[in-house]
Amino acid sequence: MQNRGIPIISNTGQTESAFSRYLLSLEDESFFALIRNYLGPVRTPYNKHDLIAKLVEFLSREETRRAIRARIDGDDEILLAATALLGQPGEDQLYHFLEDQLDYGRFRWLLLNHRDRLLLIDGFQAGTVQINPLLAQTTLQEAIDPQRLIEGEPLAPSDEAASGEFPWLSAAFATALYAFLREDPDLYTQAGKLRKRSIARLNDRFGTLLTGEEGEQRLATALQALTTLQLLVHRQEEGLVLFPDAWDELADLPEEWIQALLWGAPLTHSVEEAFDIAALLISFSATVPCNRSFTPVEILRIFRLTGAGSGLPLPGTGETPSLLAAMGLLLPLDAEEPSPDNETGTGTDRPARFRLNPTAASLLKPPETSPGGVSLQATMEMNVPPGTPFRDRLDLARIAALRRFDVMVVLELSRESLSSALREDQIAARETILRICGASLPQNVDFLLRRWQDRLQAVRLIRGVVLVVDQEAEELLGASEQLDPFIQERLAPGVMIISPDAVPQVEQHLRALGFHGSVRLESVSAGGAPPPEYRRFLQRHRGPALAPPVPRHARRDDLPRTTGSALPDGMQELHATEESLKATLDAQNLPQEAARELALRIEGKLILFPEQINPDVVPRHGIEAKGLDYLGKVRLVEQAIQEGELLEVIMRTAEGAPRRLLLRPREIVQSGEDLMLRALELPQEKPLRVRIRRASLVRRLSGALLRSKKAHPGGR
């Protein structure tokens, strides 16, 4: 092949060595297929390092560079931009990042095609890919814009002026619902409908927030979130049962995590995944600017900038942003005006867009100042202002009834609310109020609190284990401080109540003191559920979940930025088009098999110049068979099974419409006079049987050059 153009870079840095190492890691079949395609037939004797140097020189020429750029289309830009944005992503992560724009079959074909075109090479870890560093700066940087995948667009002045409402699903709402459910846990009938009594009470306490069709959906969303976080459970006989220990664990978390969990829980059914989503939401609100709007596709991509976000089973593209908007984190924008520039390029209506709610985003930051205190009125009402810590809200919700939920939550103390609190062991109502509301209380409030609390504690039912000791043993036990933490109450001399959960520790201390008598206990049920161990999940998320979205190909300062000579005077900026290359191919009158293989390479953009159209570089077996070529189809299936490759198969429906299948072939079996292919349909891996004779087209979904899966080992 003749020399074309002038080298424009010196190739004496990390870029050349990384590309050279990649080429040397390939199996011989793939290595020489690349060399023959781009440089022509290989003549012996040869040296691999010399061949690599010639290939590097070929790719470094200005004319080659322009030809590569000229053949990059829209799908190419998307895949390359996503790879650049993610750095060195795994193939699964890259697919999930783009699954809303590329179906799995198209994605797999593009990935293999980009390897053949040397736009992508293996990453440093197995199963990952990266932009070819040899082309990243000099060829591809001008052709792709990674930021456009997630950059959004500026807000209109009218949208930017809107600050956004306070989100309804908040820590304040959760504790208000806690207080409400203590009064009325039986909200639903056996048929799953809200009771008329409950609807009236919800309307009285929450206004229109939880009434009507939209309000019922909000209530269902909130209850789903609390159920996912294991804060309550619905039991047919008891209604909605709260788990106080779990609420206590939640209150021990940072304020921003409590809020993020409430927004993340409706997107999953797992506590662990709720923490993963919460971490993404916290970083999302800190990373995404409030003065730009984003499509649902862009929002999902921002979440999937990390492996963690990519692996999460988030709802669909349209559903996730809509749920976050329904909960108040995002603000939907009008999408009525038609635009030809939407993401599908079809010229239909402009896609829905969302912006970050600035008011909601502030809730996902650690509180900077202490809010004003809770005020207690002589009417026994308490006004709880915005910014009150979740722990204080929860403690008040345990001893007071909800009267009105608004920006300022109104609670009311009563004998009934204190009686309900007693069942949760929240009997220190007066001390709780003094801690939260201040050192002094209205005189009538102080009097009633003391009276109610004394009256309610006059008769009690205590769940626990009775420890009975005689007088001599009591003197010894009384001198031991080791048992004090486990004693709930001393009822009389020698009679103590301990928690059922503490029995193993108490037995251990008794044996240490010389009391070896066995303790027989009947089975005791705690009546609730074990706390969900929030702290353990929180420890996994010490750092930010999302790094600032900066493309990581050739952007590091330590990589040398190479420059090369410009085109000589008089050299025109020309490149061979696909049509001109096909015309050159037709003029050569080649054998049918070779001509078909070269035509596929032209369509796949593997041939850049007419000099590459050479039947000597084509292998004896092709990658595609169709129509009446039954033996060719069988041969391709056998080769795909042998080399572990995928197949693209087109079948015809009863109506004659084409049906495209992406298959992982397993084996060929005899069925009468025909051969059947047993395979798994991807990406669902559904078992399938295909009659090979009826296939309109069978194509090996492998690279035309890098054929074998074994040719992509990943790590080196």
| pLDDT for 86 beyond 90 | no
Residue 296's Cβ-count burial label (10 Å; 0-12, 13-18, 19+) is buried
- What are the tens digits of pLDDT across the range 438-485? 777 788 877 877 777 766 665 666 677 888 877 777 766 665 667 777
Candidate from 125-139, 176-190, 582-596 with smallest mean pLDDT: 582-596
Question: Per-residue pLDDT averaged across 361-372, rounded?
Answer: 71
Residue 66 lies in a domain: yes
Distance of CA 298 to the CA centre of its chain: 13
Confidence grade of residue 495 (pLDDT, cut at 50, 70, 90):
confident
449 and 483 together in one domain: no
Residues 307 and 211 in one domain: yes
* Residue of 589 and 634 predicted with greater confidence: 634
Contact 477, 513 (CB under 8 A): yes
What pLDDT score was predicted for residue 6? 39
Give the H/E segment covering residue 354: strand 353-356
Whether residue 246 is found in the same domain as residue 296: yes
Peptide bond before residue 45 is cis, with ω within 30 degrees of 0: yes
Q: What is the pLDDT of residue 352?
A: 84
CB burial of 321-340 (b: ≥16 within 10 Å; e: otherwise) equals bbbbbbbbbbbebebeeeee
What pLDDT does 170 receive? 93
Structure tokens at 687: 């078992």
Sheet holding 697-701, edge to edge: 624-626, 697-701, 646-652, 658-671, 674-681, 686-691
Mean model confidence pLDDT for the chain: 80
pLDDT-derived band at 621, boundaries 50, 70, 90 = low
- Percent with pLDDT over 70 in the chain: 78
Lowest mean pLDDT among 270-284, 303-317, 668-682: 303-317
| 103 and 181 assigned to the same domain | no
Mapping DSSP to helix (H, G, I), strand (E, B) and coil, where does residue 542 land? coil
pLDDT bracket for residue 636 (50, 70, 90): confident
Domain range for 279 = 161-362
Quick one: pLDDT band at residue 558, thresholds 50, 70, 90? very low
Angle, helix 171-183 to helix 255-264, in steps of 10 degrees = 70
Q: Which two tokens stand for residue 429?
A: 């109502």
Is residue 380 assigned to a domain?
Answer: yes
Task: Considering only residues 346 and 625, tell me which one the structure prediction assigns the higher pLDDT.
Answer: 625
Mean pLDDT of 557-564: 36
Q: What is d(CA 555, CA 548) in angstroms, rounded to the nearest whole number?
A: 14
**pLDDT tens readout for residues 91-129:** 888 998 888 888 888 999 999 999 999 999 999 888 899
Buried b (16+ CB within 10 A) or exposed e, 441-456: beeebeebbeebbeeb
Instruction: Name the residue type at position 290.
Output: C
Co-location of 352 and 270 in the same domain: yes
Q: How many residues does the chain have?
A: 716
Q: Indicate the SS3 state at residue 330.
A: strand
| 686 falls within a domain | yes
Q: Is residue 35 part of a domain?
A: yes
* Segment among 240-254, 391-405, 484-498 with least mean pLDDT: 484-498
Instruction: Answer whether residue 105 is part of any domain.
Output: yes
- Per-residue pLDDT at 547: 52
What is the token pair recorded at 241? Answer: 């049962």
Are 185 and 66 in a shared domain? no
244 domain-assigned: yes
Cα–Cα separations (whole angstroms), residue 387 to 85, 121, 141, 371: 38, 52, 47, 5
Residue type, 370: S
- Look at 15 and 327; give whichever has higher pLDDT: 327
Largest separation between any pair of C-alpha atoms in the chain: 113
- Final residue in a domain of this structure, among 323, 338, 362: 362
Confidence tier at 142 by pLDDT (50, 70, 90): confident
Give me the pLDDT at residue 560, please.
35
Determine the angle formed by the axes of helices 296-303 and 319-327, rounding to 10 degrees.
90
Distance CA 68, CA 70 (A): 5
Q: Looking at residue 544, what is its pLDDT?
A: 58
Tell me the β-bridge partners of 674: 671
- Are both 202 and 337 inside the same structural domain? yes
Same domain? 78 vs 126: yes
Write the burial class of residue 411 (CB in 10 Å: 0-12 exposed, 13-18 middle, 19+ buried). Answer: buried
Is residue 348's pLDDT more than 80?
Answer: no
Would you state the pLDDT for residue 312?
A: 62
Backbone phi, then psi, for 589, in 5-degree steps?
55, 55
* 23 neighbors 82 (Cβ within 8 angstroms): no
Q: 243 with 251: CB under 8 angstroms?
A: no
Residue 683 confidence (pLDDT): 83
Name every residue whose Cβ is closer than 8 Å to that of residue 101 and which is 6 or more positions away in sequence. Answer: 78, 297, 343
Q: Is the dihedral of CA 624, 629, 630, 631 positive or negative?
A: negative
- Rounded Cα–Cα distance for residues 137 and 564 (Å): 12
312-326 average pLDDT score: 73
Give φ, ψ of 394 to 5 degrees.
Answer: -65, -45
Do 191 and 310 reside in the same domain of the chain?
yes
Report how far residue 716's alpha carbon sits from residue 709's, in angstroms, rounded to the nearest whole number.
15
CA-based R_g, the chain, Å = 35
Q: Could you give the number of structural domains in the chain?
A: 5
Same domain, residue pair 212 and 318: yes
Tens digits of per-residue pLDDT, 33-75? 899 999 998 888 889 999 999 999 999 999 999 999 999 999 9
If asked whether residues 449 and 480 sit together in one domain, one would say no
Please compute, for residue 652, the number of CA atoms within 13 A of its CA located in the half-sphere on the CB side: 10
Domain annotation covers residue 587:
no
pLDDT band at 435 (very low <50, low <70, confident <90, very high): confident
User: For residue 577, what are its two tokens?
Assistant: 């088009």
The pLDDT > 90 percentage for the chain reads 29
Q: Are 581 and 613 in contact (CB under 8 A)?
A: yes
Any domain includes 568: no
228 with 349, same domain: the answer is yes
Choose the final residue of a domain: 149, 184, 219. Answer: 149
**Which residues are bridge partners to 233 per DSSP?**
241
